[in-house]
Structure 1
Amino acid sequence: EKTAVIMSHFIPDYIWLATGGKNGCFNKEAMSVLRGREVTLVPDLGSTELWREKSALLSGICKRVAVSDVLERMATDDQREAGLDIADFFLTVPTKCQILQQMIRRNPALQTLIDELGLELVE
Protein backbone atom coordinates (compact mmCIF):
# COMPACT_ATOMS: atom_id res chain seq x y z
CA GLU A 1 0.00 0.00 0.00
CA LYS A 2 1.14 3.49 -0.87
CA THR A 3 0.78 4.91 2.62
CA ALA A 4 2.81 2.19 4.36
CA VAL A 5 5.68 2.54 1.87
CA ILE A 6 5.74 6.35 1.94
CA MET A 7 5.41 6.66 5.70
CA SER A 8 8.21 4.11 6.24
CA HIS A 9 10.44 6.66 4.53
CA PHE A 10 9.26 9.68 6.51
CA ILE A 11 8.97 8.00 9.94
CA PRO A 12 11.11 4.86 9.83
CA ASP A 13 10.98 4.23 13.60
CA TYR A 14 7.37 3.08 13.29
CA ILE A 15 6.06 -0.12 11.75
CA TRP A 16 3.60 0.92 9.05
CA LEU A 17 1.07 -1.75 8.19
CA ALA A 18 -1.21 -1.64 5.17
CA THR A 19 -4.72 -2.92 5.78
CA GLY A 20 -6.15 -2.51 2.31
CA GLY A 21 -8.34 0.40 3.39
CA LYS A 22 -11.76 0.27 4.96
CA ASN A 23 -12.81 -2.69 2.81
CA GLY A 24 -9.45 -4.47 2.90
CA CYS A 25 -7.93 -7.18 5.06
CA PHE A 26 -8.78 -5.73 8.46
CA ASN A 27 -9.83 -8.98 10.10
CA LYS A 28 -8.87 -10.97 13.20
CA GLU A 29 -6.56 -13.35 11.33
CA ALA A 30 -4.59 -10.64 9.49
CA MET A 31 -4.40 -8.41 12.55
CA SER A 32 -3.01 -11.19 14.77
CA VAL A 33 0.50 -10.01 13.80
CA LEU A 34 -0.17 -7.02 16.07
CA ARG A 35 -0.58 -9.19 19.19
CA GLY A 36 0.76 -7.38 22.27
CA ARG A 37 1.66 -4.20 20.39
CA GLU A 38 0.61 -0.61 20.96
CA VAL A 39 -1.23 0.42 17.81
CA THR A 40 -2.34 3.78 16.47
CA LEU A 41 -4.74 3.79 13.54
CA VAL A 42 -4.49 6.83 11.26
CA PRO A 43 -7.57 6.70 9.05
CA ASP A 44 -8.02 8.53 5.77
CA LEU A 45 -10.08 11.69 5.99
CA GLY A 46 -13.76 10.85 6.32
CA SER A 47 -13.11 7.37 7.74
CA THR A 48 -12.35 8.13 11.38
CA GLU A 49 -15.68 6.96 12.82
CA LEU A 50 -15.61 3.75 10.79
CA TRP A 51 -12.09 3.01 12.07
CA ARG A 52 -13.19 3.74 15.65
CA GLU A 53 -15.77 0.98 15.20
CA LYS A 54 -13.25 -1.37 13.58
CA SER A 55 -10.70 -0.72 16.34
CA ALA A 56 -12.82 -2.87 18.69
CA LEU A 57 -11.51 -5.90 16.77
CA LEU A 58 -8.01 -5.07 18.00
CA SER A 59 -8.89 -4.68 21.67
CA GLY A 60 -8.40 -8.38 22.39
CA ILE A 61 -5.24 -8.59 20.28
CA CYS A 62 -3.24 -5.46 20.99
CA LYS A 63 -1.81 -4.05 24.19
CA ARG A 64 -3.30 -0.63 23.38
CA VAL A 65 -5.30 0.76 20.46
CA ALA A 66 -5.85 4.43 19.63
CA VAL A 67 -7.56 6.01 16.64
CA SER A 68 -5.93 9.28 15.66
CA ASP A 69 -8.11 12.16 14.50
CA VAL A 70 -5.17 14.48 13.79
CA LEU A 71 -5.90 14.57 10.05
CA GLU A 72 -9.55 15.47 10.66
CA ARG A 73 -8.54 18.28 13.03
CA MET A 74 -6.07 19.88 10.63
CA ALA A 75 -7.70 19.27 7.24
CA THR A 76 -9.31 21.85 5.01
CA ASP A 77 -12.70 21.23 3.44
CA ASP A 78 -11.00 20.52 0.08
CA GLN A 79 -8.70 17.96 1.70
CA ARG A 80 -11.66 16.27 3.40
CA GLU A 81 -13.55 16.12 0.13
CA ALA A 82 -10.52 14.49 -1.53
CA GLY A 83 -10.30 11.90 1.28
CA LEU A 84 -6.55 12.39 1.75
CA ASP A 85 -4.47 10.07 3.90
CA ILE A 86 -1.42 10.74 6.09
CA ALA A 87 1.00 10.08 3.21
CA ASP A 88 -0.73 12.73 1.10
CA PHE A 89 -0.07 15.26 3.86
CA PHE A 90 3.61 14.31 4.13
CA LEU A 91 4.04 14.48 0.36
CA THR A 92 2.54 17.97 0.13
CA VAL A 93 4.55 19.51 2.98
CA PRO A 94 7.96 20.62 1.72
CA THR A 95 11.00 19.21 3.48
CA LYS A 96 13.68 21.48 4.96
CA CYS A 97 15.90 20.61 2.00
CA GLN A 98 13.17 21.59 -0.48
CA ILE A 99 12.60 24.88 1.36
CA LEU A 100 16.34 25.63 1.28
CA GLN A 101 16.48 24.88 -2.46
CA GLN A 102 13.58 27.29 -3.04
CA MET A 103 15.42 29.97 -1.06
CA ILE A 104 18.61 29.41 -3.09
CA ARG A 105 16.65 29.69 -6.36
CA ARG A 106 15.28 33.05 -5.17
CA ASN A 107 18.69 34.25 -3.99
CA PRO A 108 21.67 32.32 -5.45
CA ALA A 109 24.05 34.21 -3.15
CA LEU A 110 22.73 32.01 -0.36
CA GLN A 111 24.50 29.00 -1.93
CA THR A 112 27.77 30.96 -1.94
CA LEU A 113 27.30 31.77 1.74
CA ILE A 114 26.58 28.10 2.52
CA ASP A 115 29.67 26.96 0.59
CA GLU A 116 32.03 29.61 2.01
CA LEU A 117 31.04 28.97 5.60
CA GLY A 118 30.81 25.19 5.20
CA LEU A 119 27.23 25.16 6.45
CA GLU A 120 25.14 21.98 6.49
CA LEU A 121 21.39 21.55 6.66
CA VAL A 122 20.29 19.84 9.85
CA GLU A 123 17.06 17.88 9.46
Structure 2
Amino acid sequence: MRGGQIKLFDDTFHTVNYVFKAGEKRSRTTWVNYAYARRCDELKQPYPDWLTAYLDERNEVQKSPCLFGLPQLLTADAHQPVAIVEAPKTAIISTPYFPGFIWLAVGALSYLNAERLAPLRGRRIELFPDLSTDGRAFDRWNRVAGELLADGFQITVSTYLEDNATDEERVAGADLADFLLEQWPDQSPQWGE
Protein backbone atom coordinates (compact mmCIF):
# COMPACT_ATOMS: atom_id res chain seq x y z
CA MET A 1 0.00 0.00 0.00
CA ARG A 2 1.29 3.45 -0.88
CA GLY A 3 -1.50 5.63 0.39
CA GLY A 4 -5.18 5.91 1.04
CA GLN A 5 -7.45 8.67 -0.14
CA ILE A 6 -10.47 9.75 1.89
CA LYS A 7 -13.28 11.25 -0.15
CA LEU A 8 -16.74 12.30 0.97
CA PHE A 9 -19.65 11.52 -1.37
CA ASP A 10 -23.23 12.75 -1.23
CA ASP A 11 -26.32 10.56 -1.60
CA THR A 12 -26.15 10.91 -5.41
CA PHE A 13 -22.64 9.36 -5.38
CA HIS A 14 -20.93 12.61 -6.34
CA THR A 15 -18.05 14.21 -4.46
CA VAL A 16 -19.14 16.69 -1.82
CA ASN A 17 -17.77 20.16 -2.49
CA TYR A 18 -17.46 23.02 -0.07
CA VAL A 19 -16.79 26.70 -0.65
CA PHE A 20 -13.25 27.63 0.22
CA LYS A 21 -11.89 31.16 0.27
CA ALA A 22 -13.09 33.69 -2.34
CA GLY A 23 -15.88 31.37 -3.50
CA GLU A 24 -13.50 28.66 -4.75
CA LYS A 25 -15.07 25.20 -4.58
CA ARG A 26 -13.04 22.21 -3.42
CA SER A 27 -13.86 18.59 -2.87
CA ARG A 28 -13.87 16.99 0.57
CA THR A 29 -10.78 14.93 -0.10
CA THR A 30 -7.78 14.14 2.07
CA TRP A 31 -5.29 11.33 2.66
CA VAL A 32 -5.15 8.71 5.42
CA ASN A 33 -1.65 9.74 6.50
CA TYR A 34 -2.71 13.37 7.05
CA ALA A 35 -5.93 12.42 8.81
CA TYR A 36 -4.09 9.94 11.06
CA ALA A 37 -1.41 12.54 11.91
CA ARG A 38 -4.07 15.14 12.69
CA ARG A 39 -5.85 12.69 15.00
CA CYS A 40 -2.60 11.81 16.80
CA ASP A 41 -1.94 15.53 17.25
CA GLU A 42 -5.44 16.12 18.65
CA LEU A 43 -5.02 13.25 21.13
CA LYS A 44 -1.41 14.31 21.90
CA GLN A 45 -0.19 10.82 20.97
CA PRO A 46 3.10 10.03 19.20
CA TYR A 47 3.03 8.99 15.56
CA PRO A 48 3.54 5.28 14.90
CA ASP A 49 6.84 4.43 13.16
CA TRP A 50 5.20 3.82 9.77
CA LEU A 51 3.60 7.30 9.81
CA THR A 52 6.82 9.04 10.85
CA ALA A 53 8.64 7.32 7.97
CA TYR A 54 5.85 8.14 5.53
CA LEU A 55 5.80 11.83 6.43
CA ASP A 56 9.59 12.25 6.34
CA GLU A 57 10.38 13.86 2.98
CA ARG A 58 13.97 12.55 3.14
CA ASN A 59 12.70 8.99 3.36
CA GLU A 60 12.54 6.78 0.27
CA VAL A 61 9.03 5.57 1.12
CA GLN A 62 7.19 5.40 -2.18
CA LYS A 63 3.92 7.26 -1.94
CA SER A 64 1.12 7.39 -4.44
CA PRO A 65 0.84 7.73 -7.43
CA CYS A 66 0.02 4.19 -8.28
CA LEU A 67 -3.14 2.98 -9.92
CA PHE A 68 -6.13 2.63 -7.61
CA GLY A 69 -6.91 -1.07 -7.30
CA LEU A 70 -3.45 -2.25 -8.35
CA PRO A 71 -3.24 -5.00 -5.65
CA GLN A 72 -5.88 -6.93 -7.62
CA LEU A 73 -3.13 -7.93 -10.06
CA LEU A 74 -1.60 -10.16 -7.37
CA THR A 75 -4.48 -12.63 -7.58
CA ALA A 76 -5.99 -11.99 -11.02
CA ASP A 77 -5.45 -14.22 -14.02
CA ALA A 78 -2.57 -12.84 -16.11
CA HIS A 79 -4.79 -12.92 -19.22
CA GLN A 80 -7.68 -10.98 -17.69
CA PRO A 81 -7.96 -7.58 -19.40
CA VAL A 82 -7.71 -4.34 -17.45
CA ALA A 83 -10.13 -1.42 -17.69
CA ILE A 84 -8.85 2.01 -16.71
CA VAL A 85 -11.07 4.89 -15.63
CA GLU A 86 -10.28 8.25 -14.11
CA ALA A 87 -11.96 8.01 -10.69
CA PRO A 88 -11.67 5.24 -8.09
CA LYS A 89 -15.44 5.53 -7.55
CA THR A 90 -16.00 4.58 -11.19
CA ALA A 91 -13.68 1.58 -10.89
CA ILE A 92 -15.56 0.35 -7.82
CA ILE A 93 -19.02 0.82 -9.35
CA SER A 94 -18.01 -0.75 -12.71
CA THR A 95 -16.56 -3.92 -11.18
CA PRO A 96 -19.82 -5.85 -10.57
CA TYR A 97 -21.29 -4.71 -13.91
CA PHE A 98 -18.28 -5.87 -15.95
CA PRO A 99 -16.48 -8.60 -13.97
CA GLY A 100 -14.50 -9.68 -17.02
CA PHE A 101 -12.21 -6.70 -16.46
CA ILE A 102 -9.88 -5.80 -13.62
CA TRP A 103 -11.04 -2.23 -12.89
CA LEU A 104 -8.36 0.31 -12.00
CA ALA A 105 -8.30 4.11 -11.81
CA VAL A 106 -5.57 6.65 -12.55
CA GLY A 107 -7.00 9.30 -10.22
CA ALA A 108 -7.18 12.26 -12.61
CA LEU A 109 -7.40 12.98 -16.32
CA SER A 110 -3.74 14.02 -16.58
CA TYR A 111 -2.42 11.03 -14.60
CA LEU A 112 -2.58 8.58 -17.50
CA ASN A 113 1.05 7.89 -18.44
CA ALA A 114 3.57 5.11 -19.04
CA GLU A 115 5.05 5.31 -15.54
CA ARG A 116 1.71 4.78 -13.84
CA LEU A 117 0.71 2.01 -16.26
CA ALA A 118 4.09 0.22 -16.12
CA PRO A 119 2.74 -2.67 -13.95
CA LEU A 120 0.22 -3.40 -16.73
CA ARG A 121 2.75 -3.94 -19.48
CA GLY A 122 1.91 -7.20 -21.24
CA ARG A 123 -1.80 -7.03 -20.34
CA ARG A 124 -4.65 -5.97 -22.60
CA ILE A 125 -5.86 -2.52 -21.46
CA GLU A 126 -9.03 -0.63 -22.35
CA LEU A 127 -9.44 3.01 -21.39
CA PHE A 128 -12.81 4.56 -20.50
CA PRO A 129 -12.26 8.34 -20.43
CA ASP A 130 -14.79 10.68 -18.83
CA LEU A 131 -16.92 12.91 -20.99
CA SER A 132 -16.15 16.57 -21.58
CA THR A 133 -18.02 19.35 -23.37
CA ASP A 134 -15.49 19.65 -26.19
CA GLY A 135 -14.25 16.05 -26.23
CA ARG A 136 -10.84 17.05 -24.83
CA ALA A 137 -10.85 14.24 -22.23
CA PHE A 138 -11.36 11.59 -24.92
CA ASP A 139 -8.86 13.29 -27.24
CA ARG A 140 -6.21 13.47 -24.51
CA TRP A 141 -6.55 9.79 -23.52
CA ASN A 142 -6.66 8.78 -27.19
CA ARG A 143 -3.40 10.68 -27.81
CA VAL A 144 -1.73 9.13 -24.74
CA ALA A 145 -2.99 5.69 -25.79
CA GLY A 146 -1.27 6.17 -29.16
CA GLU A 147 1.99 6.99 -27.38
CA LEU A 148 1.60 3.96 -25.09
CA LEU A 149 0.80 1.72 -28.04
CA ALA A 150 4.02 2.88 -29.73
CA ASP A 151 5.83 2.08 -26.46
CA GLY A 152 4.63 -1.54 -26.54
CA PHE A 153 1.43 -1.41 -24.48
CA GLN A 154 -1.64 -3.35 -25.65
CA ILE A 155 -4.15 -0.52 -25.31
CA THR A 156 -7.42 0.67 -26.81
CA VAL A 157 -9.83 3.50 -26.00
CA SER A 158 -13.54 2.80 -25.60
CA THR A 159 -15.85 5.10 -27.54
CA TYR A 160 -18.96 3.95 -25.64
CA LEU A 161 -19.51 7.18 -23.71
CA GLU A 162 -18.64 9.40 -26.68
CA ASP A 163 -21.05 7.45 -28.90
CA ASN A 164 -23.97 7.42 -26.42
CA ALA A 165 -23.78 10.66 -24.40
CA THR A 166 -26.23 13.51 -24.46
CA ASP A 167 -25.08 17.14 -24.56
CA GLU A 168 -26.12 17.46 -20.89
CA GLU A 169 -23.94 14.49 -19.94
CA ARG A 170 -21.00 16.01 -21.81
CA VAL A 171 -21.42 19.37 -20.05
CA ALA A 172 -21.66 17.57 -16.69
CA GLY A 173 -18.46 15.60 -17.40
CA ALA A 174 -20.28 12.32 -16.80
CA ASP A 175 -18.34 9.09 -16.52
CA LEU A 176 -19.15 5.40 -16.81
CA ALA A 177 -20.33 5.31 -13.18
CA ASP A 178 -22.91 8.00 -13.95
CA PHE A 179 -24.27 5.87 -16.80
CA LEU A 180 -24.44 2.80 -14.56
CA LEU A 181 -26.01 4.66 -11.64
CA GLU A 182 -28.79 5.92 -13.91
CA GLN A 183 -29.98 2.31 -14.02
CA TRP A 184 -30.47 2.18 -10.23
CA PRO A 185 -33.97 2.63 -8.80
CA ASP A 186 -35.12 6.22 -8.18
CA GLN A 187 -34.76 5.92 -4.44
CA SER A 188 -31.33 5.92 -2.86
CA PRO A 189 -30.09 2.54 -1.67
CA GLN A 190 -30.42 1.93 2.05
CA TRP A 191 -26.99 0.74 3.12
CA GLY A 192 -26.93 -2.07 5.66
CA GLU A 193 -30.39 -3.41 4.87
Q: TM-score of the superposition, structure 1-length normalised?
A: 0.68
Deviations 1:52-82 (A, max 9, x none): 11113421242x2111111111111111110
Give the aligned partner of residue 10 of structure 1: 97
Superposition RMSD in Å = 1.8
Supply the distance in 2 between the matched residues of 1:52 and 1:87 (Cα, whole angstroms). 20
* Residues matched between the structures, number: 94
> Is 1:67 matched with 2:157?
yes
Deviations 1:14-51 (A, max 9, x none): 11110112123x23222111111111111001211111
Where in structure 1 are there 5+ consecutive unaligned residues? 99-123
* Paired residues of 2:129 and 2:141 also in contact (CA < 8 A): yes
Supply the distance in 2 between the matched residues of 1:5 and 1:61 (Cα, whole angstroms). 28
Matching of residues 25-44 of structure 1 within 5 Å: 26-44=112-130
| Structure with greater helix percent | 1
Q: TM-score of the superposition, structure 2-length normalised?
A: 0.45
User: Which 4+ residue blocks in structure 1 deviate beyond 4 angstroms?
Assistant: none
Q: Give aligned-pair identity as a percent.
A: 40
* Paired residues of 2:91 and 2:104 also in contact (CA < 8 A): yes
Supply the distance in 2 between the matched residues of 1:3 and 1:89 (Cα, whole angstroms). 10
* Paired residues of 2:113 and 2:144 also in contact (CA < 8 A): no
Q: Which amino acid aligns with 1:86?
A: L
Of residues 125, 134, 140, the one that matches 1:50 is 140
Where in structure 2 are there 5+ consecutive unaligned residues? 1-87, 186-193
Supply the distance in 2 between the matched residues of 1:57 and 1:19 (Cα, whole angstroms). 17
Q: Which amino acid aligns with 1:14?
A: F
